[in-house]
Every structure is written in C-alpha cells, then in structure tokens.
Amino acid sequence: MAKNPIKQIREEKDVTQHELALASEVSVSTIRNIENGEVKALNENLLDFLEDKGYSREELIEDYKEWLEEKRKEIEDKF
C-alpha cells in the first residue's frame, strides 16, 4: 500500500504533526485525521501551505484520493 502523501512529506521533512499544524495554521487533530484517512478532502490551509513550499496541489489531492481508495479497498477485502 502506498503511503499517505501528507504523512510522507512530514516524515521526509522530519517534523512532528504539531509542527506541521503550527506551520500550516491548522489543528493537530486535522493533521492526525488526514494522516489516518478520517477525512475525504485535504484541508485548504494545509494545501495552501504545501503549495507555497513547492508541492503541486493537484498531485497532493490526487495522491491522497488514491491512498484513501487503496485503504478503503484493503478494509473492504477483510469482509
């Protein structure tokens, strides 16, 4: 299974969820929920922040959707 793109970026930059939340002006719970796949869409503030840092908004959205679908299928296959 592919890795959550937001978590992957955060880990590559060696920052905590709290640090990413502070830098992007979102709550820690929002970062945690995104990394756990508990939300269907990425937070706009987070996307704005990452886009300002050179990441493609469209690629992040697409990669996140693909990751969510893989996660959903993995769970579905357990039934």
- Determine the topology of domain 5-76 in CATH: 434 Repressor (Amino-terminal Domain) (1.10.260)
- Reported as a single tens digit per residue, the pLDDT across 9-46 is 999 999 999 999 999 999 999 999 999 999 999 999 99
| CA gap 58, 63 in Å, rounded | 8
Residue with tokens 């979102």: 26
pLDDT at 12: 97
Question: Which pair of tokens denotes residue 57?
Answer: 């908004």
Rounded Cα distance, 54 and 76, in Å: 35
Task: Tell me which residue has tokens 């990669």.
Answer: 63
Q: What is the CA radius of gyration of the chain?
A: 12
- What is the pTM (predicted TM-score) of this model? 0.91
Separation between Cα atoms, residue 51 and residue 61, nearest integer Å: 11
**Domain residue extents for the chain:** 5-76
